[in-house]
Amino acid sequence: MNTITIIAFTFAFLPSLTWLLFYLREDPHPEPPRWLWLAFVVGIGAAPVSFYLEKWLLKLSSLALQMPEISISEGILFMLFGVALIEELVKFIGARLLLARNPVFDEPVDAMIYMVTIALGFAALENILVLNNAAHHMSLSRMAQTLTLRFIGANFLHTLASGLIGYYWARGIVEGNVGRRLLVGIPLAVALHAAFNILIIKLGPLYFLATSVLLFIAGLAVLRNFEVLKQLKTPATLVKNTSGLS
């Protein structure tokens, strides 16, 4: 492993850790650090699972439609169902496995905190792959620029999409209708994720402005969701109810 690769690996975590510190300020009762780190590791593990499923679906679609993989991968339907849906579902499944009947999951806002933490682990691995692939022909200044763009773009996106799912998951647990709430939250997160990717591919040089507006609006909504969950009373059955959908 050469010096550039080591630097890429090290600095790839900075955007995720910065966002993590920002979001943890929204938690009135901080979570145990070891569980936050475990959630971060779950997010790192969720990334290769998602990438494998995406690659498998892309190959299957290419064979079924008799089209080049590149043409399918840049299509709106694949962005929606072959990327956004897979990634958001895998992150959520990781959160449910981590938190089911877990005593640390003891207040509604925890759903958003752990979902965001998992999302940042996912984003960190993406950063590593992006920088490592370009490490041999990218200067340090270019690497810093790439990380900055990912910090305000893709990394932020992951937190917002997962935060939306966490919000609706928590509301469902409190209200006793998890399934119905997730039928709203997951499609919203998938739509946000897919819209971001589609704007980048379809708009060319104008993508930065369009995605900035999209993420700004979504960011305001997610911050409001944090405030809503802080005001909700924690039901005695919170941990018990996380183990199953209703």
Q: What is the pLDDT of residues 149-184, one digit of tens each?
A: 888 899 999 999 999 999 999 999 998 899 999 999
Residue 13: how many other CB atoms lie within 10 Å:
20
pTM of the predicted structure, to 2 decimals: 0.91
Q: Are 210 and 225 in contact (CB under 8 A)?
A: no
Within a domain: residue 111?
yes
Cα end-to-end span (Å), the chain: 49
Within a domain: residue 31?
yes
Q: Compute the distance between CA of residue 224 and CA of residue 21 in angstroms, rounded to an integer.
A: 18
Within a domain: residue 246?
no
Using the predicted structure, report yes or no on whether residue 146 has a pLDDT greater than 70. yes
Q: Could you give the angle at which helices 154-175 and 140-152 cross, rounded to 10 degrees?
A: 30
Within a domain: residue 215?
yes
Which percentage of the chain shows pLDDT scores above 90? 62
Residue-wise pLDDT tens digits, 65-124: 989 998 899 899 999 999 999 999 999 999 999 998 898 998 999 999 999 999 999 999
Q: Which of 4-8, 54-58, 195-199 has the lowest mean pLDDT?
A: 4-8
Within a domain: residue 35?
yes
Within a domain: residue 180?
yes
Tell me the residue range of the domain where 120 lies.
Answer: 3-241
Q: Compute the distance between CA of residue 60 and CA of residue 11 in angstroms, rounded to an integer.
A: 35
More confident residue, 245 or 52: 52
Work out how many domains the chain is built from and give that number. 1
Structural element, H or E, at residue 16: helix 14-24
Residue 27: how many other CB atoms lie within 10 Å:
18
Using the predicted structure, report yes or no on whether residue 4 has a pLDDT greater than 70. no
Q: Compute the distance between CA of residue 235 and CA of residue 243 in angstroms, rounded to an integer.
A: 15
75 DSSP assignment: S
Q: Compute the distance between CA of residue 50 and CA of residue 53 in angstroms, rounded to an integer.
A: 5
Within a domain: residue 199?
yes
Q: Are 15 and 127 in contact (CB under 8 A)?
A: yes
Q: Are 5 and 135 in contact (CB under 8 A)?
A: yes
